[in-house]
Amino acid sequence: MTEGVKTIIYPVKDLDTAKPLFAALFGDAPASITPYSVGWKVAGQDVGLDPNGHAQGLNGLVPYWHVDDIASSVQALIAAGGEVLQDAKDVGGGKLIAWVKDADVNVIGLLQPA
C-alpha cells in the first residue's frame, strides 16, 4: 500500500553551501543535521539534502513514496517495466529506501518507515 509522497530529497554537492539557501526558503534552521544529510519538516513533509546523491547517479530531486512493503513495491514496479537503480537499503534505524527508474529515466523513490 502506498501512503503518498511524504519525503523529498535533493542531491547537493556541498551541504555547507546548500544549507543557507534551503533555510532561507523554509524560513527555519534544519531540524536534523548529520554527516550524510540535512533535513527539515515542512508542511508535514520531510525535505532533505543528500551530499552523496550525485555520486550515486542522481541529477535531481527524488520524491519518496512511503510504502508498507518495499520489497513487494519494488517487484511490482519491475513487473510494470521499471528498472532498479538502488536496491532496498537501510539508511538508519530500520528505515529502508530504494530507487526505481521508469522508461523516461525518472527516479521513483520508495521509503519504508522503520
User: Of all residues in the chain, what percent carry a pLDDT higher than 90?
Assistant: 74
- Output the pLDDT for position 1: 64
Structural domain tally of the chain?
Answer: 1
What is the CATH classification number for the domain harbouring 21? 3.10.180.10
* Model confidence, pTM: 0.84
Q: Which domain holds residue 81?
A: 2-112
pLDDT value, residue 68: 95
41-69 per-position pLDDT tens digit: 998 899 999 999 888 888 899 999 999 99
DSSP string, 10-42: EE-S-HHHHHHHHHHHHTS--SEEETTEEEEEE
